[in-house]
């Protein structure tokens, strides 16, 4: 800890610092709570999206057992095009938001392939969208994790370091100034007595 000057000007500065630290800490703690709430929401969103992906795959297998027929090639029928992301500001943190997903359907002859291929294409499109939702939700979670960690460090800095240090500095300076004032008063009384004793002789 740096040595603090034991003076009245430093005392005033330490008191001003303490007031500003105490004013800033609740706002910082509120931000941390908002971010933690949003993080919990992001974890739920990932879980829900992953459950939808798993459910969609299971439903596709049950509804379309013909997919097991390797003679019908469904690869490349649906591909991911452009993904548009926006941003959302949550407690000063910029988070990605999925705005649009472009799915490209490869042209295929409806007379050449069986009728159930249309259902496969629709399910593949839904699966791609769901996977993108999971990816974006994971990006949001990663940013929120980092923001929560940074904000928690700042809360701890104010709560456990800066405020206690300022309080300790104020106490030390006040004790020193009180002692110096008492010493000056005692010194003045002694000098007065000595002058009085010197005048009496």
DSSP state of 27: H
Q: Is residue 199 part of a domain?
A: no
In a domain, 191, yes or no: no
User: Rounded to two decimals, what is the model's pTM?
Assistant: 0.72
Q: Residue 201 domain-assigned?
A: no
Which of 118, 138, 128, 167 lies closest to 42, judged by CA?
A: 138
**Residues in CB range of 169: below 8 A, 6 or more apart:** 4, 10, 14
**pLDDT for position 96:** 94
In-domain check, residue 105: yes
Q: Alpha carbon of 102 to those of 33, 106, 109, 122, 180: distances in Å? A: 36, 13, 22, 13, 77
- What's the CA gap between 175 and 169, in Å, rounded? 10
The pLDDT value given to residue 73: 53
What is residue 117's predicted lDDT score, i.e. its pLDDT? Answer: 64
What is the pLDDT at residue 99?
Answer: 92
The answer to whether residue 195 is domain-embedded is no
Q: Is residue 3 part of a domain?
A: no
- 111 domain residue, yes or no: yes
CATH of residue 169's domain is 1.10.287.3240
Q: How many domains does the chain have?
A: 1
> Residue 90 phi/psi, 5° resolution?
-120, 110
Least Cα distance to 40 among 141, 136, 135, 139 occurs for 141
Domain that holds residue 49: 8-185
Note whether residue 12 is domain-resident. yes
Amino acid 1: pLDDT:
52
Q: What tens-digit pLDDT sequence spans the chain (201 residues)?
A: 568 888 889 999 999 999 999 999 999 999 999 999 999 999 998 998 888 888 776 666 655 555 555 555 556 667 788 999 999 999 899 999 999 988 887 776 555 555 666 777 777 788 888 889 899 999 999 999 999 999 999 999 999 999 999 999 999 999 998 888 888 777 778 877 877 777 655
Q: Please name the residue ranges forming H helices in the chain.
A: 8-63, 117-156, 163-200
């Amino acid at each position: 800890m740096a040595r603090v000057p034991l003076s009245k000007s430093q005392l005033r500065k330490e008191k001003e610092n303490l007031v500003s630290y105490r004013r800033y800490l609740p706002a910082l703690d509120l931000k941390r709570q908002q971010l933690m709430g949003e993080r919990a929401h992001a974890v739920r969103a990932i879980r829900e999206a992953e459950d939808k992906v798993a459910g969609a795959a299971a439903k596709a297998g049950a509804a379309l057992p013909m997919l097991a027929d390797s003679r019908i090639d469904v690869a490349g029928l649906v591909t991911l095009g452009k993904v548009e992301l926006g941003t959302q500001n949550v407690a000063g943190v910029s988070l990605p938001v999925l705005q649009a997903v472009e799915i490209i359907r490869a042209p295929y002859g409806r007379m050449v392939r069986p009728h159930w291929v249309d259902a496969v294409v629709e399910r593949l499109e839904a699966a791609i969208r769901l996977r993108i939702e999971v990816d974006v939700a994971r990006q949001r979670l990663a940013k929120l994790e980092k923001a929560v960690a940074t904000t928690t460090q700042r809360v701890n800095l104010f709560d456990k370091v800066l405020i206690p240090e300022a309080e300790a500095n104020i106490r030390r300076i006040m004790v020193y100034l009180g002692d110096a004032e008492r010493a000056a008063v005692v010194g003045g009384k002694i000098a007065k007595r000595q002058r009085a004793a010197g005048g009496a002789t």
